[in-house]
Amino acid sequence: MDNTSVFFQKSCTQHRYIRTRDNSHIVERPERLRAVNVGLAAAIARLEEVAPVVPVHPSGTSPTSSASRIDDEDELTKALAKLQLSASGSSPSESLTRTLPVAFIHSNASVNLLNNPAVKFVHGDIERDVYLETLVAWAKDSQDKVAKGESEIPEGYSQGDLYLCPGSLDAIQGALGTICEAVDNVIEGGVQSEGSGQISSRPRRAFVAIRPPGHHCGEDTPSGFCFVNNVAVGAAHAHLKHHITRVIIFDIDLHHGNGTQAIAWGINEETYRKQLEAEAGAPVHNPGLQVYYGSIHDILSYPCEDGKPELIQAASVSIHGPHGQHIENIHLKPYTSEKEFWDTLYPKQYLSLLEKAEDFIARTGGTRDNTLVFISCGFDANEHEYPSMSRHLRKVPASFYYRFARDARAFADKYAKGRLVSVLEGGYSDRALTSGAMAHLIGLVDTEISGVDEKWWGLENLIALEAATKKRRGGRPSQTAYPEPWLARTAEIFASIDSSHTTPAAAPRAPIPPSSRVLRERKPPGSATTASAKASPATSPGNSGGARTRAPAPVTSGSESDLTDISSGTASGDEVTSKRLPRVILKLGPAPDV
C-alpha cells in the first residue's frame, strides 16, 4: 500500500535573492532543498534494505499492490518505489520485489493568490484582498526596484529576512498548490482505505518538500522568510473542499510559529462566535473550523529573542477551551545526554503536545471523518544545525524527527484515519536538513517495516552520505565509486528526484550604480556598522569637496533578525570566517620637478 507520498515542486527554485550578487548572508534559499532531497533519497535506499520481500507475478502485480499505485504516477516513480531482486529457486513465472509504501510525486500544481478560496480564507480581507494584491505587486515590481538601487521590500519590513524576485510569485503559488494537492490525495486516500475492504490507491500520509516556509506569516504580516502561511492555507483548503472541521497542527520548528498561532486564534474566534450565536437561537449554516495549534520551540530565539513582551507571551500561551481557543506551547530545554532527552524530556514534556491534541478532539467532539493532522516540520532544532542557530542550546537529537513522526502517525491513525500532511518549514545547515528529512520520512512510513536502525542518520553515516552526494557543477553528485551499496542507491535515487540544480540562472542583475565609495580601512568582523558615512579627507585620496556616499536601501531598526545571523557554514556545522580584504594604503611621492 502506498501509504506515504513525498511531494516536490520545481517552481520553488525560482525564489531568489536579487538585491545584490552576494547572497552569503541569506540563510533561507531554495538551494537548501538539495540537502532535503539527499535525506529523502537516503531514507528510501535504507528502507529498501529492510522492506519485506513479496512475490510479483508476470503481470507486474503483487498480492498487496494490484491497486496501490497512484493513478497519475509515472514510470520513474514506479521504479523508485520498487527494487527488483532475483531469487534462486523462484519459478520462471514469478519474481521477488521489495515493495515500499512510498511514492515520489513531482507536482505541477499551482494556485492563483488572487483567486483561490483557501488563500483568501487565510490572507484575504472582507472588502478587498489588500495584502495579497500588495504581495503580488512587490514580486512583479522587484526587478525594477532593484534596478533603481532600491530594495524590493518596502521600508518597515525586515530587509534581512524577506526578499522577492519576479519568480517568487511562481514559487509561492506552486508551493501552495502542492500542499493543496497533497491534502486532496491524503483525504481521498483516507476515505478509500476505510471503505469495503478495498486497497487505497492514494496515500494517507504526505511529506511536502517546499520553500519558502510559512509559519511566521500571519494574515497580513510577512516575516521570518515567510510570505504566506502554507500550513494554514492547506488547512483552509481541507475545510472548504473536504468539509474537515477539526485541524491539528504540530509545529516542531526551532522557532515559534507566531503566524500560524495568530491565524488559528482568529479562526477559532470566529467559530466560537458562531457557536454563541447558535446558542442564542441563530440559525447555523456552517459549524466552522476549529484548530488546535501545538508548538515545541526555543523561547530565547526568533521571534522572541529581542524580548518583546507580546511575542514572548504568545509563545508561552497554554489555553484549552475558554473562548474557543486550543493552543499549547512547550519550550525546548537543554539536555546533557541523549538518555536524559529520551527518558525525561521527550516522554514527560514534549509528548504532552499530543496529549493536549487528544483533549482537543474529546472536548470539541471531533471524529475520525472530520479530522486532519498537519506537522509544521522545521529541522532547525536538529543537533546538526549551525551552532549559531542553536546558540541557546535548545535542540533535539536527529532521532527526534523519526520518533515524533512515528508518534504523530499513530495519533493520526487513531483520530484521523491516518491522514497526516507534514510540510517543510525551517532548517539551514545541510547536515541538519539531510539527517532530519531522512529520519522523518522513515518515521512516517508503514510500521510493518522492521529493521530500522537509528544509526542510519548517525554522524559516521552522514559523513559518508555527504561524500557520496557531494555537489559538482550542474548539481549532481560527484562520486562515482561508492563504498557501500546503500550509498550507490542513494545517489541513484537522488539523481532522479532532485531539481535543485535546475535553479534558474540569475537574470542579468541591474547595473550597479557608479560607486563613489572611497578607500578606507575595513573594520574587523563584529565591529559596529553604523559609522558615519562621511569619510575623512585624510583617508580619501583624490577626494575633493568631501566624500560622496551611496544612499543605502531603506532599512529600519530591527531590519536584521537573528534568523539571518548565522554563517553559511560547512556540512559539519563549523563556522566560516569572513573574508577580509587587505588594507590598501596609497602613498604620494614628492612633487615632480617642473
**pLDDT of the residue at 47:** 94
Query: Which residue is listed with cell 506569516?
Result: 217
User: Could you list the active site residues?
Assistant: 216
- The answer to whether 411 and 353 have CB atoms below 8 angstroms apart is no
- The answer to whether 100 and 81 have CB atoms below 8 angstroms apart is yes
Report the alpha-carbon distance of residue 142 to residue 15 in Å, rounded.
Answer: 12
- The answer to whether 8 and 499 have CB atoms below 8 angstroms apart is yes
Of 35, 73, 13, the C-alpha closest to 426 is 35
Q: What is the pTM of this model?
A: 0.81
- Specify burial of residue 556 (Cβ count, 10 A radius: 0-12, 13-18, 19+): exposed
Of 40, 14, 44, 383, the C-alpha closest to 168 is 14
Report the alpha-carbon distance of residue 489 to residue 477 in Å, rounded.
Answer: 12
Report the alpha-carbon distance of residue 208 to residue 181 in Å, rounded.
Answer: 10
At 146 the three-state DSSP class reads helix
Strand partners, 207: 6, 422
Per-residue pLDDT of the chain (594 residues; tens, 9 = 90+): 458 999 999 999 999 999 998 888 888 988 899 999 999 999 999 999 988 766 555 444 443 332 233 334 444 444 444 433 333 333 334 444 567 789 999 999 999 999 999 999 999 988 889 999 999 999 999 999 999 999 999 999 999 899 999 999 999 999 999 999 999 999 987 555 454 444 455 689 999 999 999 999 999 999 999 999 999 999 999 999 999 999 999 999 999 999 999 999 999 999 999 999 999 988 878 889 999 999 999 999 999 999 999 999 999 999 999 999 999 999 999 999 999 999 999 999 999 999 999 999 999 998 999 999 999 999 999 999 999 998 999 999 999 999 999 999 999 999 999 999 999 999 999 999 999 999 999 999 976 678 899 999 999 999 999 999 987 765 555 556 788 999 999 999 999 998 765 555 544 444 434 434 333 333 344 443 333 333 333 333 333 333 333 333 333 333 445 565 544 444 444 444 444 555 545 555 566 554
The DSSP annotation for 181-214 comes to HHHHHHHHHHHHHHSTTPPPSS-SEEEEE-SS--
| Residue 185 CA from chain centroid, whole number | 20
Report the alpha-carbon distance of residue 356 to residue 349 in Å, rounded.
Answer: 11
Residue 305, H or E segment: none
Tell me the residue type at 3. N
Three-state SS string over 65-103 comes to CCCCCCCCCCHHHHHHHEEEECCCCCCCCCEEEEECCEE
Report the alpha-carbon distance of residue 565 to residue 580 in Å, rounded.
Answer: 18
Strand partners, 75: none
The DSSP annotation for 463-512 comes to HHHHHHT-B-TTSSB---S-SSHHHHHHHHHHHHH--GGGPPPPPPPPPP
Report the alpha-carbon distance of residue 198 to residue 67 in Å, rounded.
Answer: 9
**pLDDT of the residue at 553:** 37
For the chain, how far is it from start to end, CA to CA, in angstroms?
Answer: 93
Residue 223 sits at the vertex; the CA angle it makes with 25 and 207, to the nearest 5 degrees, is 90
| Residue 54 CA from chain centroid, whole number | 35
Report the alpha-carbon distance of residue 408 to residue 422 in Å, rounded.
Answer: 10
**pLDDT of the residue at 468:** 93
Query: Which residue is listed with cell 560527484?
Result: 478
Q: Strands 205-209, 4-9: parallel, antiparallel or unpaired by DSSP?
A: parallel
At 344 the three-state DSSP class reads helix
Q: Per-residue b/e over 483-516, b at no fewer than 16 CB within 10 Å?
A: eeebbbbbbbbbeebbbbeebeeeeeebeeeeee
Report the alpha-carbon distance of residue 444 to residue 102 in Å, rounded.
Answer: 10
Q: How many CB atoms lie within 10 A of CB 278?
A: 14
What are the strands of the beta sheet with 95-99, ordered from one edge? 53-56, 95-99, 82-85
Q: How many CB atoms lie within 10 A of CB 55?
A: 15
